[in-house]
Amino acid sequence: MNQIGGSDDHPTSLTAADPLAGLARWVAEGAVDHAAAERSRQRWLQQQASESTFLAGVLTQHAESSRRVVASTIGGRRTSGTITAVGVDFAVIREARLGEVILPLSQLAIVKVANGDDSPSGDAARNYDLMLAHALDQLAADRPSVLVAAGNEAVRGDLHSAGSDVITVQINGPQRSMVHVAIDAVDHVVVLAH
């Protein structure tokens, strides 16, 4: 008796008396095993997809839909607008009354689609492979007017420079003093519209 395939508990035999019947059973058992394995694989893939959801990915999905969102930070800042950029550890929301609001992902508490907004705005978001510190460093080259909120304080002035863990804002006024803010403490940065 020749054994071909089948499980250890139920070997399938091909006999000289009926070789096609045994082959049919062997193929059928293999198809059932394959289908069960495929269902198990699909469940595993779905579980992996749900477990590996990241905030940056969620923000990118909202950005691609071009719908208005409402984002709240741990510090209590509530921003409403469209996501115009997503970086490795930050997102940018265009707020009509102020300008671009840069939000560190570490400070985001809640992000949701704005109530009553079911139509795309038409703006395409940009995705950057940039960290917040590097993005602020590039932004500082233009010396934009900014409002930086960190801790219980807000600083308004020109973004003078940014390093790996600190940004420097030059306060407008007669003394033009410099204020240094730890990037890890930043709740949000508003690039003020002129």
The per-residue pLDDT for range 118-155, each reduced to its tens digit, is 555 545 566 778 899 999 999 999 999 999 999 999 99
* pLDDT at residue 175, rounded to an integer: 80
Closest CA to 94 of 184, 193, 169, 186: 193
Domain locations in the chain as residue ranges: 18-52, 55-192
* Single-letter code of the amino acid located at 12: T
The CATH class, in words, for 55-192 is mainly beta
Tokens of 33: 């095993």
For the chain, the C-alpha Rg in angstroms (whole number) is 28
CA atoms within 13 A on the CB side of 141: 5
* pLDDT at residue 51, rounded to an integer: 43
Tokens of 25: 């059973």
Q: What is the mean pLDDT of residues 168-185?
A: 92
Higher-pLDDT residue of 13 and 137 is: 137
* pLDDT at residue 157, rounded to an integer: 95
Place of tokens 């940065």: 189
pLDDT tens figures, 145-166: 999 999 999 999 999 999 999 9
Question: What pTM did the predictor assign?
Answer: 0.69
Q: What is the mean pLDDT of the chain?
A: 81
* pLDDT at residue 114, rounded to an integer: 85
* pLDDT at residue 47, rounded to an integer: 56
* pLDDT at residue 1, rounded to an integer: 45
Q: What is the mean pLDDT of residues 14-27?
A: 64
33-47, 52-66, 179-193, range with the lowest pLDDT: 33-47
pLDDT tens figures, 75-115: 999 999 999 999 999 999 999 888 999 999 999 999 998 88
DSSP codes joined into one string, 32-94: HHHHHHHHHHHHHHHHHHHHT--HHHHHHHHHHHT-EEEEEETTS-EEEEEEEEE-SSEEEEE
Higher-pLDDT residue of 186 and 54 is: 186
* pLDDT at residue 40, rounded to an integer: 73
